[in-house]
Amino acid sequence: MGKSKLLKKGESKALTISHPNSRKAKALSKQIIKNSTRQKTKMEYAIKRNLFGEKLLWFHDNIEPVEEYTASMLEKLFQKYLSRFDEELEQIAIKHSIGQRQNRQHASREDVIKMTIKRDFEEYNTCGIEMVDVLNKKQLKMFREWDGEMGFLNQFNIRRFSKSFLINYKPPQSKRTNKNRSVSECTDQEMLVAEDNQTCQPTEKTKDVSETEVAQNDVDPTVEVEMEGT
C-alpha cells in the first residue's frame, strides 16, 4: 500500500512538470523575459533621471539671481559648466607628477571625467545640452524655487541649448496686429490688395458740398433755355 501511494505521488508530480518545448514552458519563459526587460528599463530610466537631476542641481546652484535671463548670461553659464572639472583634473595631474609614479593614480576617475567633458562639448557644439528653458520668465521662477525633488522634473519645460543657438538668439517680440497699423505704414500694394480689409484702407473724407453747388444741381436746364429765348 505504501509503495503504491508513493508511485501515485511521483506520477502526479511528473505530470505537473512541463516539457521544455511545451506551450506552458514557452509562455513562462516569455513572461520571465518580459518582466526582466521591464525591470531593466525602469532601472535605466531611474539612473538617467538621477543623472539629469544632478545636472539641473548644478545649474540651480550656479544660476545668477536675476529676474530675467539673457542668452549671453546663459552662454557664460554653459562655459562654466563645461569647465567644472578643471580643478579636479589639475589635482590629479599634480598627484601624477609627484615622485615620478609609473602607475596612474585615480585613473578610472580621470577617464570618466574626460569622457564626460568630451560628450558635453560635442552636445554643446552640435545638438545642444538639455536644460530648463530659463529664457522664459515663468520657467526661470519655477526653476529658482525648485527644492531639488526629482518628482517635479516633469513640470519643467526642457529644451536643448547649443552654442550657435545662443549666439544667434533673438528675444521674441510682441507681434503687432494689422489693426494697430496706421495708414502711412501700409504700402500701396497692400492698399490695393486689401479691398475688404479696413486696416490698410484710408478713410475717405466726405467732401463738403456748398449750398450754391446744391442749388446749381437742383436747377432745371429747361428753365435756363426759356430765359435765354426771352
Q: Across-strand partners of 161?
A: 129
Helix, strand, coil in percent for the chain, rounding step 5 = 65, 5, 35
List of long-range contacts for 25-32, beta carbons under 8 Å, 24+ apart = none
Q: Which of 18-22, 24-28, 69-73 has the least mean pLDDT?
A: 18-22
Region 102-128: mean pLDDT is: 88
pLDDT of residue 72: 92
Region 129-140: mean pLDDT is: 93
Q: Across-strand partners of 131?
A: 159
Count CB atoms within 10 A of the CB of residue 79. Answer: 11
Alpha helices in 63-172 (DSSP H): 71-82, 86-97, 107-125, 137-144, 163-167
pTM beyond cutoff 0.75: no
pLDDT of residue 106: 76
pLDDT for residue 206 is more than 50: no
Q: Across-strand partners of 158?
A: 132
pLDDT of residue 46: 85
pLDDT for residue 91 is more than 50: yes
pLDDT for residue 228 is more than 90: no
pLDDT of residue 196: 47
